[in-house]
Structure 1
Amino acid sequence: MSELYQHRARKRFGQNFLHDAGVIHRILRSINAREGDRLVEIGPGQGALTEGLLASGARLDVIELDLDLIPLLKLKFGIHPGFTLHQGDALKFDFASLDASPRSLRVVGNLPYNISTPLIFHLLEHAGLIRDMHFMLQKEVVERLAAEPGGGDWGRLSIMVQYHCRVEHLFNVGPGAFNPPPKVDSAIVRLVPHETLPHPAKDVRQLERVVREAFNQRRKTLRNTLKGLLDKDAIEAAGVDGSLRPEQLDLAAFVRLADQLAGQTSPG
């Protein structure tokens, strides 16, 4: 089994393998997997978390891109009846293909930093299937996910993820917990899709559009950044002060702006 640990982390996959037993235990405690759970692990690597997740009695699907890791994972976990391995890119994976019931999937991953944001947006497209998500991410990404209006971390990522999910920044993890050690600090985040959206938009695509435009030039006022979408009167009609900068608006205000835009662009 020693060959399991000879696989070198690959830079092109953004691999940093978790090896700190204390951190692994803390993550598993946070997830608190139970028998009967439907777990999906993205990027299991050498199986640092996989072992503990399977020990819970849960059913586990793992998605791994690196072909060199597939035989190692099969060797270590292939005999376990609850284990299913999918070789492929999680960014392109159809989570609906897992035939899961609504709000049943519990997604886990030590995500490569270069794909973390697009992967979270991909997963949000399947939010109706997901009960919760626990991710190891770059600490600054977690700070942006959990940000509140008014600060420099509040932006497109915060707003669109918080539209769909409750966000909890659980704890930070230093570089020494990984091999090789990354050059940045990491953090564990819990994302729980809302059963009922707190601020439902008429058209979420218009919300994405408004938020993207607003933060393209975040130092400018909304009146300037949104002028291609909404004029001064339309911004005021949404109950928003056009002289504010985008980071000063909360989620509810962005939804009102998006609904104003949806009303302008809807037929008739």
Structure 2
Amino acid sequence: MTHAPTPHRARKRFGQNFLRDTGIIDRLVRAIHPVEGDRLVEIGPGQGAITQGLLDGAQALDVIELDRDLVPGLRTQFFNYPEFRIHQADALAFDFRSLVSPGEQLRVVGNLPYNISTPLIFKLLEVNDIVRDMHFMLQKEVVARLASQPNSGQWGRLSIMAQYFCRVDHLFDVPPEAFVPRPKVDSAIVRLTPYATRPHQAHDMTVFASVVKQAFSQRRKTLRNNLKTIISAEQMEALSINPTRRPETLSLEEYVRLANALSETAP
């Protein structure tokens, strides 16, 4: 069940494209499967296309909306849900820990504009301990990066950091005609599920994040060049990692191995 959205001119500076296709909306809500008791938070509810389905399932929902002009319409649309809470705020600056009590975990949902998708995912990975799962509608190329594997053009810092913390599932694609206004790119739905026990464990997250970031500082150069200020070619060879390899050829496990070796030798 979806309410008719109130008239609103989409704002380019907020990257607004409003989902209109009821078939896509229903498929997304089914994939999320909200149930009563879930601590759901929706980022960028817009005109409430997904919001109704989330509330029908969970009966409670926090939404974070940057565009203050959309807030009155959302309040009116969902006034009969006592546990519907609106936070007029920038999700990139929002304190997600403020939404949970000890022992609770958030289920995060959002149709994310391209310009904030990567920094917002990094922000949420930092609080992965309070996140049960995340369902995002993103530009298709971002989902491809999140779900990619080594030796592909998409494999990079975002892929490695997301897959270190989460299982990544590319659920389905969303065509441009599902939105108003119609975007120039295809979109896709991705599910990120933080691991209870990570397949590979870095001893020091700061070191691991730094190694990955520096390795991809210049994609076309070798590990020897990109990492020369933090680890020698001889040290890499001792870890069975050829220093002439390029950063996109290393697996997540190999990046963790590099970082852990550095952590052990740090003063």
Same fold, judged at TM 0.5 (above): yes
Partner of 2:84: 83
Q: C-alpha separation between the residues in 2 aligned to 1:212 and 1:162?
A: 15
Which amino acid in structure 2 is aligned with residue 174 of structure 1? P
Which amino acid in structure 1 is aligned with residue 210 of structure 2? R
- Aligned-residue Cα RMSD (Å) equals 1.4
Q: C-alpha separation between the residues in 1 aligned to 2:54 and 2:255?
A: 39
Q: Does 1:43 align with 2:29?
A: no
TM-score normalised per structure 1: 0.95
Mapping 1:104-143, distance limit 5 Å: 104-143=105-144
Structure 1 stretches of at least 4 aligned residues deviating more than 6 Å after TM superposition: none
Contiguous gaps of at least 5 residues in structure 1: none
Contact 1:102–1:128 (8 Å) recurs in 2: no
Which amino acid in structure 2 is aligned with residue 51 of structure 1? Q
Mapping 1:138-157, distance limit 5 Å: 138-157=139-158
Contact 2:43–2:63 (8 Å) recurs in 1: yes
Which amino acid in structure 1 is aligned with residue 174 of structure 2? V
Partner of 1:190: 191
Partner of 1:181: 182
Per the TM alignment, residue 4 of structure 1 is displaced from its structure 2 partner at its CA by: 4.8
Partner of 2:256: 255
Range moving further from structure 2, 154-163 or 99-108: 99-108
Q: C-alpha separation between the residues in 2 aligned to 1:250 and 1:99?
A: 34
Mapping 1:15-30, distance limit 5 Å: 15-30=16-31
Q: C-alpha separation between the residues in 2 aligned to 1:230 and 1:40?
A: 41
Which amino acid in structure 2 is aligned with residue 233 of structure 1? E
Per the TM alignment, residue 102 of structure 1 is displaced from its structure 2 partner at its CA by: 3.9
Per the TM alignment, residue 263 of structure 1 is displaced from its structure 2 partner at its CA by: 2.4
Contact 2:92–2:123 (8 Å) recurs in 1: yes
Inter-CA distance 224–103: structure 2 relative to 1 (3 Å threshold)? farther
SS in 1 for 2:137: strand
SS in 1 for 2:6: helix
Contact 1:146–1:169 (8 Å) recurs in 2: yes
SS in 1 for 2:82: coil
Report how many aligned residue pairs link the two structures. 265
TM-score normalised per structure 2: 0.96
Per the TM alignment, residue 103 of structure 1 is displaced from its structure 2 partner at its CA by: 5.9
Q: C-alpha separation between the residues in 1 aligned to 2:70 and 2:259?
A: 44
Contiguous gaps of at least 5 residues in structure 2: none
SS in 2 for 1:83: strand
Partner of 1:227: 228
Partner of 1:166: 167
Inter-CA distance 58–149: structure 2 relative to 1 (3 Å threshold)? farther
Which amino acid in structure 2 is aligned with residue 48 of structure 1? A
Contact 2:59–2:81 (8 Å) recurs in 1: no
Range moving further from structure 2, 231-240 or 84-93: 231-240
